[in-house]
Amino acid sequence: MATSITRYVREKGEIPLAWAGSTLDMNYLNFGDALSPVMIALLSGKPIRRAPMKSFAPRLSCVGTIGHGFANGEVWFWGTGCSNWANPSAPAAEKKPFVPSPESHFTVTATRGPVSESLLSAKTLSHAVPYGDPVWLLPRFYKPTVKKRYKLGVILHLSELANREMEAVPRKEIARFRIPAELADDIHLITTVTELHVGALQSKIDEILSCERIVSTSLHGMVIAESYGIPCLYFAPSLSKDGLQSVELTPGGDVDLRIVDLYTGLGLPKIDVYNQPRPKPSDWPAIMKAIDKSWSPKTFDGDALINAFPVDLSPISAAPGETIWEHKALTDLKLRHDVGELNRLDRKEFPGGAKVAAARFPDESPKGAPKAAARAVAEKTVSEPAGEDAAAKLEKKKSSVALLKRIKSTLPPGSVPLAWAASSPKFPYANFGDALSAVMVAAISGRVVRHAGFDSNSERLVAVGTIGHAISKGTVHMWGTGLDAQRCPGNPNPAPYQRPAGTEFHVHAVRGPKTGAVLRAQGIAVPEIYGDPVYLLPKFWPMDHVAKTHEIGVIVHLTELASQDPAATVLDVMTRYGIPPERKGDIRIINTITERDASSLRAKVEEIVSCRHILSTSLHGLVIAECYGIPSAWFATYGQGEGRELKLDDDEERVDHRVRDFYLGAGVTRLNAFCLERRAKPEWDKAVDWIKATWRPLTYSPQALFEAFPLPKAVEFEATPWPVEPKVLKALKF
């Protein structure tokens, strides 16, 4: 007979899953937590709907130390971990033991280990259910061949990070993660912070697999390493003795309870660990020797865990030529939510609480099925701050509505005033990157966009372009804007940027951290939301229809053109752009100047997308290449025809400040460049070979940038293509 959760899933056609997911005030995923919906989708093939941890509705729980966070209603646990504290993040003196909740009904089909089983089922360590973290099953679905790049990967726990950026930056006081210069190419720090999409989870797994060995403070760093057979050790921070040692796995001992739970679930009474106090530098060669000496593969009964799956099994498989990460079951996953809205929808579905849920979906499973009284009154840090999220969203909504009302009061009615580098009598054409500012704002808002002056006294938006330094007066809403730190409003000469008087700034997002730092230094509040709005262009113009007709597209900057018009060719002195007669059909020089209409801009995008590789001195040439996944490199204007990996976080490295700002904002610290002086002879084959050997797709997600858009949106981020009324684009005057 079907269980209540099985009947619920069959009726709804989706799986209600509660996990420690991202909220609207988070612009990142925590790697291990985000794998919870991935594992359920892999085994069920069904859509996943995020459910609140506290609910009266039937719901599943999977990956994570979250069992203590559930209350009320019916919860089915499969591979879940649990803390022995109701509020594990509280100070020691304020912690409360985990106790049952009488209004909850827990069914435990599998847990991460015996510690979690005893907590969730209120039993002694009886091994009545299978043990194992569901992430251990991942190699059954995804087992790529990844080249080893590092001798040792070091995976940090969230608590050890200085920030929530995409690169692992330890807290300053933690010395054990310091890497000497001579080992910089061998030791790789890995953060569990990832971008807000499933492709970033794949990239994170590949990043771990690129390491010959692993030490990890993160539980799921250990799970990935062990399950894929990478030699590894738990990187303990606070044992009484330093270095390699064998430790007993006992609850209440010195080893993290999550690690105890995981490995006792594998039937191990003790494990080897490497203890390194956080304030002391690590002996990395000694750590690698310790791993080589002590690690052995672990045995895991994955079949038992799969057999305990609490809903109908229908595992997915990858299509020919693809991986499971391209499967619709994963690409459709929504990984960031408005938790307040989740709670509202939950209350709407089950207004009568547990009795209504039980009446609609009675449990028809045999009476002998394992069930237990509930345990969990979750603390705020685990059960998700619904009130705070709802309030933050409401405040944001009020702000955008107020701005819209003010815009509606202007002429023409309902149009959006946007400042961008538009055409003029002196320059009667559209510059590609600048003009796309109006396209993106029109596409997202669904409204006619009209040009506003850089020094207007009005309230206006500023979006695409390195133009922030030219904006003054009135009320300014910046969204994805860049600036030149050595330019000032109204000053034609180079000078450090100074905040203009009489200007009210509301910054919703900027192009990158360099722009953000300049504005913050002037007392302007800037959120850590980065990105160029043009990166969203594939949502509007997918370009799936465009055939590849050229091997190399070379996008030149305005300053390299012989004249300022759409037909302009490159200056004669720019000899590096010379094309031999036999390569005329392979290489296309692309001018960024177009006619003043949306169709011409679209044609320019098609021209770029028709190229298999891109070299660009133009920032937006690179942005277009990256967002459409075209292998590319920055075409540096120095060098003798060699590829270089440039360090973006080194201010001494010769990189265009606009390019540096964009890529740093995308979470990249190394830039692939092909370096060739403008008056040098062409080196096309070397350039293409360098791109082929070094280019990797960006893992950046523009969702946070999209969410920061300061007006009500006419489109949804997940939709493709965005439906935009033709009249909105036709009205644009570039």
Reported as a single tens digit per residue, the pLDDT across 166-209 is 889 999 899 999 999 999 999 999 999 998 889 889 999 999 99
Prior bond of 721 cis (ω within 30°): yes
- Give me the CATH code for the 137-299 domain, please: 3.40.50
Q: Which residues have a Cβ under 8 Å from the Cβ of 665 and sit 6 or more positions away? A: 510, 511, 512, 513, 530, 531, 532, 700
| Beta-bridge partner residues of 71 | 54
pLDDT mean over 111-125: 82
Q: What angle do CA 305, 83, 223 make, to 5 degrees?
A: 45
Half-sphere exposure of 307 (CA within 13 A, CB side): 7
Query: The whole model's pTM is what?
Result: 0.53
pLDDT number for residue 367: 39
Locate 521 and state its tokens. Answer: 């230094």
Among the listed residues 366, 371, 361, 383, the one whose alpha carbon sits nearest the alpha carbon of residue 76: 371
When pLDDT is averaged across residues 440-469 and rounded to a whole number, the result is 94
β-pairing verdict for 449-451 and 214-216: unpaired
**C-alpha span between 209 and 128 (Å, rounded):** 34
Report the pLDDT value the prediction gives residue 400, as an integer from 0 to 100.
Answer: 52
pLDDT category, 511, cuts 50, 70, 90? Answer: very high
The arithmetic mean of pLDDT across residues 153-163, rounded, is: 93
Residue 491 burial (CB count, 10 A): 12
Write down the residue that tokens 């949804």 correspond to: 716
Q: Are strands 336-337 and 22-23 parallel, antiparallel or unpaired?
A: parallel
Peptide bond preceding 412: is omega within 30 degrees of 0, i.e. cis?
A: yes
Residue 620: is its pLDDT beyond 70? yes
In this predicted structure, what is the pLDDT of residue 724? 85
Q: What are phi and psi of 641, to 5 degrees?
A: 100, 50
**Angstrom distances, CA of residue 162 to CA of 159, 204, 236, 412, 471:** 8, 19, 19, 48, 33
Mean pLDDT of 548-564: 93
The whole-number pLDDT of residue 478 equals 97
pLDDT for 270 equals 94
Mean of all residue pLDDT scores within the chain: 88
Confidence of residue 490 (pLDDT cuts 50, 70, 90): confident
For 576-687, where are the E strands, in sequence order?
587-590, 593-594, 611-616, 632-636, 640-647, 670-676
Angle at 465 between CA 464 and CA 469, to 5 degrees: 120
pLDDT tens figures, 376-407:
212 222 223 333 344 444 454 445 545 655 55
Q: Which helix (H) or strand (E) holds 505?
A: strand 503-510
Percent of the chain with pLDDT over 70: 90
pLDDT at 728 over 70: yes
- Rounded mean pLDDT, 126-144: 90
pLDDT at 97 (0 to 100): 84
Q: Note the pLDDT of residue 551.
A: 97
Q: Do the strands 243-248 and 270-275 form a parallel or antiparallel pair, or are they unpaired?
A: antiparallel
H helix intervals, 367-487? 380-383, 386-408, 432-445
Q: Which of 146-155, 162-171, 232-241, 396-405 has the lowest mean pLDDT?
A: 396-405
Q: Are 118 and 298 in contact (CB under 8 A)?
A: no
What pLDDT is attached to residue 154? 97
Give the pLDDT confidence score for residue 98 in this predicted structure.
Answer: 81
Q: How confident is the model at residue 362 (pLDDT cuts 50, 70, 90)?
A: low
Mean pLDDT, range 532-542, rounded to an integer: 96
* CA distances (Å), origin 412, targets 276, 434, 435, 713: 66, 23, 20, 19
- Residue 313, Cβ density class (10 Å: 0-12 exposed, 13-18 middle, ≥19 buried): exposed
Q: What is the pLDDT of residue 383?
A: 28
**673 pLDDT exceeds 50?**
yes
Q: Report the range out of 6-15, 162-171, 470-479 with the highest average pLDDT.
A: 470-479
Q: Are 260 and 254 in contact (CB under 8 A)?
A: no
pLDDT score at 370: 34
Per-residue pLDDT reduced to its tens digit, 53-88: 988 888 999 999 999 999 888 899 999 999 988 888
- Structure confidence at residue 350 as a pLDDT band (50, 70, 90): low
- Rounded distance between C-alpha atoms, residue 609 and residue 501, angstroms: 43
C-alpha span between 275 and 573 (Å, rounded): 62
Helix (H/G/I), strand (E/B), else coil: 709: coil
What the block records as the tokens of 139 is 């190699």
Domain spans in the chain, listed from the N-terminal domain onward? 4-132+315-384, 137-299, 398-517, 536-707
